[in-house]
Amino acid sequence: MQETSNVNKQNWATKLMAIVVVVSMVGSTFVLFAPEASARTGSDSYGYTFKDSSETEVDASWTELVGTAGTTTLLSSSTDGGQGPYDLPFTFEMYENEFTSWGNGGDNGYITLGVAISNQWTSYHIPATQLGNTAVAGAWFDGGFCRTSNPTAGVYYNTIGTTPNREFIVQYQDQGAWYPSVYQCPSAAAADALTWQIILHEGSNKISVNYKDTNGGYGSDNEQATTGIQGSPGGSSTGLEYVYRNSPVAFNTLDDNGGSTVEFYAPPPARNDIRLKSTSVPDPISLDKSNVIAATVSNNGVNCDTAGDCSPVAETDIDVTAKVFSIAEATSDYTFDDRTDPEGFTHEAIQGADAWTQALNDGKGNHNEGDEGTDDGAWSSGRKSGTLGGLFDVPQKIHYDGTDVLVANFGWDNVKKISTATGTVTDVIGGDNGYHLYLHMVIDVTEDGTNYYTLAR
């Protein structure tokens, strides 16, 4: 469901500043009810619950990936290094965060959302900081793969089904304990390994862990496994643990060939749950053109007409409040007439070297830096000769623009021309030429090829 609301343009601070707030409504898939509680369930503080296939409504079905068209072999040897992140086929929401990528934890039996995490072969209680923010542990222990005993051992993944009911499946095929898989391969202990899957369900955001075979042939492969999910809603870590360092088969009435499933369910949505997911503000804000400020709002609620009726009701109107900030305007007054004013434009003489230069340092401690950096070819007024006196403060700069530089020299009552090619200074009018210019508070000086002009207060 997409809804858009626009706020009309407003006049502000004598300038037209248009604020257009675009609100995109993203409708969620409606999860109407969480499973009913029973003896084989658990829950966490956020509201996730689990049920396993000892309950009649949980189906321990298996979708084989090995040999199936479209299946990707992710890992075929023993390693603690992670793989990914890789793109998910659909956006998956877990603990109120949305993810579009995933990573695998090597041969150690866990996947993570958003990032890939390596070298976590020792399992801990869920939630575990070692697995980062968001993770699913199917059989987390120090695992390995022995392809000499099991030719198809490894990690596989595939997407099964069609939109909007796809399943993203990661299959651990013949995952054994690290020691026999590496140091006793081939052997009977390495050959009798675990096979299981993690399934992410599109739309419902349900998580399933299917166990095809949980009876391993080595003590640590099915007695040290940890299973559970974890996330960070609002930045706080939480999780739901199904089993810690034990075999899932120990918690089910199963035959020797396994065939069990545990399902993790997100909490049921609230009746009305509108959330601001993201905003976009132009940088910089324009004061004379339209600015588009966008906001994405997620509607996670079921919008029931009445309590108990969960028929979705479309959102047609959204109230948007936009607050427009103001910019403080300040005016600085300078008195150019008062040469003793420390805030004035030219308030003191600072003598530099007896030459004008484009060098970075004139040898007197005056550093020549133009507005575009230390090597922009600027002429700095810190480069003054003895005949020029103190016309400018060091922070002021004269920039080379391809022509000679004119200086109205108050100290000697003349106009001087500085050659940007040679750095030589020539009196062009006044001073030694016998003219009295009576220069006073000159702001600018220029020429037209025949005459010289000064602009003064």
Q: What is the dihedral of CA 416, 422, 424, 429, to 10 degrees?
A: -30
- CA geometry: angle at 152 spanning 149 and 155, to 5°? 120
Residues with Cβ < 8 Å from 381, sequence gap 6 or more?
A: 391, 392, 393, 394, 396, 397, 398
Both structure tokens of 330: 């300040």
Q: Supply φ then ψ for residue 191, to 5 degrees.
A: -75, -35
d(CA 268, CA 30): 9
Q: How many CB atoms lie within 10 A of CB 334?
A: 10
pTM: 0.56
- Residue 206: per-residue pLDDT: 95
Query: For 67-198, where are the alpha helices, taking DSSP H only?
Result: 178-183, 188-191
pLDDT tens per residue across span 140-179: 999 999 999 999 999 999 999 999 999 999 999 999 888 8
Integer angstrom CA distances of residue 387 from 393, 412, 431: 16, 8, 11
Give the span between the Cα atoms of 321 and 121, in whole angstroms.
Answer: 50
The one-character DSSP state at 7 is: P
pLDDT in tens, the chain (457 residues): 333 333 333 333 333 334 444 555 544 433 333 333 333 456 677 889 998 887 777 777 889 999 999 999 999 999 999 999 999 999 999 998 999 999 999 999 999 999 999 989 889 999 999 999 999 999 999 999 999 999 999 999 999 999 999 999 999 999 988 888 888 899 888 888 889 999 999 999 999 999 988 776 665 555 578 999 999 988 889 999 998 887 655 434 333 444 689 999 988 766 566 667 778 888 887 777 777 888 777 666 656 555 555 565 555 566 666 666 666 666 666 554 455 555 544 444 444 444 444 555 545 544 555 445 555 454 444 333 333 444 443 333 343 445 677 777 766 777 777 776 777 778 877 766 666 777 766 666 777 777 877 776 5
Alpha carbon distance 100, 168 (integer Å): 12
153 HSE (CA, 13 A, CB side):
27
Compute the distance between CA of residue 361 and CA of residue 383 in angstroms, rounded to an integer.
9
Rounded Cα gap, residues 411 and 366, in angstroms: 21
78 and 144 in contact (C-beta within 8 Å)?
A: yes
Q: What is the pLDDT of residues 80-127, one digit of tens each?
A: 999 999 999 999 999 989 999 999 999 999 999 999 999 898 899 999
Share of the chain above pLDDT 70, in %: 57
CA distance linking residue 340 with residue 346, whole number of Å:
9
CA distance 407 to 338: 20
